[in-house]
């Protein structure tokens, strides 16, 4: 069992919550860019979540989750002292952290959480880190203080202009480039359509762009095939080959079509009840 030791409300509506969870074996090995799969109890579905933070000394992992359905709602309501039935990880391939020069780390919506440890690691590696964090409105912007603490500069964007640059995260990236800043690499994490927009923006500029894909996952080991995506005309599995990929090679349109197959909780529940071979448990 994995105990919640800290709960922090990041946004009210829709509810976005930060949970710090005791998981010493995961905290010992996790690296920026990796993810975990959680299950609240034996009747709940598996939910993959990218790690927002980790503390090896305390043996804790920090995750951020938004209430978008039944199972995520149950986790969203967990309080300090509550326990997860399963907390599996670390899974996936870590981010390729090195000194690129000047990097831009883009987080859209909930994507600010997984981009945080990557930006911090890039800063520790000697990069100049410029972060772009965006949300629909100022009320939904998360982790601004944390991002400012590990970035050389932070650009805030909101769709409605209630804070920072009005528009999408691509407007924030354009704001940076308009200053004549040479960007050597870019990380973009958020909704698939957002990552597609960033990749389309940076492709003609020749800026290396890494995205973190978040398709439906079941077992997290590459056996079920639910998380398959197309990258450079090759089939990849986000859980074992990713979750990070070259954004200029990802077939985002196909990824969005596959996500649409599981748009409601009923369909996701059906997937969760199947084993690796596709037969009912």
Does residue 247 share a domain with residue 151? yes
**Helix 192-202 and helix 169-177: axis angle, to 10°?**
20
If asked whether residues 47 and 128 sit together in one domain, one would say no
203 and 150 in one domain?
yes
Co-location of 234 and 110 in the same domain: yes
Is 265 domain-assigned? no
Domain termination site, one of 91, 115, 149: 91
For residues 254 and 117, state if they share a domain.
yes
Q: Are residues 117 and 61 in the same domain?
A: no
pLDDT for residue 273:
45
- For residue 83, tell me if it sits in a domain: yes
Evaluate whether residue 107 is within a structural domain.
yes
Taking the C-alpha atoms of residue 127 and residue 31, their distance in angstroms, rounded to an integer, is 18
Please report where in the chains the tokens 């299950």 appear, as a residue.
39
Q: Are 75 and 117 members of one domain?
A: no
User: Is residue 7 located within the same domain as residue 63?
Assistant: yes
DSSP three-state, residue 73: helix
pLDDT string in tens for the chain (281-residue length): 899 999 999 987 778 999 999 999 999 999 999 999 998 888 888 888 889 999 999 999 999 998 887 788 888 889 999 999 999 889 989 999 999 999 999 999 989 999 999 999 999 999 999 999 999 999 999 999 999 999 999 999 999 989 999 999 999 999 999 999 999 999 999 999 999 999 999 999 999 999 998 877 776 666 777 778 788 989 888 788 878 999 999 988 888 887 776 554 444 444 444 434 333 33
CATH number at residue 11: 2.40.30.10
User: pTM for the full model?
Assistant: 0.87
- Assigned domain for 96 exists: no
Together in a domain, 128 and 225: yes
Do you find a cis peptide bond into 254, omega within 30 degrees of 0?
no
**Residue 187 contacts by C-beta under 8 Å, 6 or more apart in sequence?**
95, 103, 104, 105, 106, 115, 118, 119, 122, 209, 210, 211, 212
Q: Tell me if 11 is assigned to some domain.
A: yes
Q: Which of 57, 91, 125 is the last residue of a domain?
A: 91
**Dist. CA 143–CA 149, nearest whole Å:** 10
Looking up residue 250, the CATH number of its domain turns out to be 3.40.50.80
Residue 86 lies in a domain: yes
Given the structure tokens 């993959």, which residue do they identify? 48
Return all residues near 215 (Cβ < 8 A) that are at least 6 apart.
Answer: 226, 227, 228, 229, 238, 255, 258, 259
The neighbour count for residue 82, using CB atoms within 10 Å, is 16
Is 268 within a domain?
A: no
| 138 and 225 share one domain | yes
Cα-Cα end-to-end distance for the chain? 23
- What is the residue range of 49's domain? 2-91
The answer to whether residues 122 and 240 belong to one domain is yes
60 and 108 co-located in one domain = no
Query: Domain end: 72, 91, 110, which one?
Result: 91
Query: How many structural domains is the chain composed of?
Result: 2
Question: For residue 278, is it within any domain?
Answer: no
Which of 231, 226, 227 minimizes the C-alpha distance to 209? Answer: 231
DSSP symbols for 156-200: EEETTSSSSEES-HHHHHHHHHTTTPPP-EEEEES-HHHHHHHHH
């Amino acid at each position: 069992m994995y105990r919640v030791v800290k709960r922090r409300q990041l946004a009210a509506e829709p509810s976005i919550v930060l949970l710090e969870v005791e998981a010493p074996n995961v905290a010992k090995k996790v690296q920026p860019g990796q993810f975990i799969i959680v299950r609240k109890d034996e009747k709940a579905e598996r939910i993959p979540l990218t790690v927002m933070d980790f503390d090896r000394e305390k043996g804790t992992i920090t995750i951020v989750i938004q209430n978008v359905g039944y199972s995520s709602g149950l986790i969203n309501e967990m309080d300090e002292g509550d326990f997860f039935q399963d907390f599996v990880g670390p899974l996936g391939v870590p981010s390729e952290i090195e000194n690129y020069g000047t990097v831009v780390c883009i987080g859209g919506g909930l994507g600010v959480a997984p981009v945080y440890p990557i930006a911090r690691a890039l800063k520790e590696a000697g990069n100049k880190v410029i972060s772009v964090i965006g949300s629909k409105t100022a009320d939904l912007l998360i982790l601004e203080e944390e991002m400012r603490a590990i970035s050389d500069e932070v650009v805030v964007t909101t769709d409605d202009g209630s804070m920072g640059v009005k528009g999408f995260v691509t407007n924030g990236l354009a704001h940076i480039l308009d200053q004549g800043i040479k960007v050597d690499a870019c990380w973009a994490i958020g909704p698939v359509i957002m990552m597609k927009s960033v990749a389309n923006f940076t492709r003609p500029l020749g800026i290396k762009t890494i995205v973190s894909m978040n398709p439906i996952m079941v077992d997290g080991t590459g056996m079920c095939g639910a998380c398959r995506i197309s990258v450079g005309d090759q089939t990849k599995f986000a859980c074992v080959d990713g979750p990070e990929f070259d954004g200029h090679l990802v077939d985002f349109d196909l990824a969005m079509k596959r996500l649409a197959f599981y748009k409601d909780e009923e369909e996701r529940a059906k997937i969760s009840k199947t084993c690796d071979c596709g037969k009912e448990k």
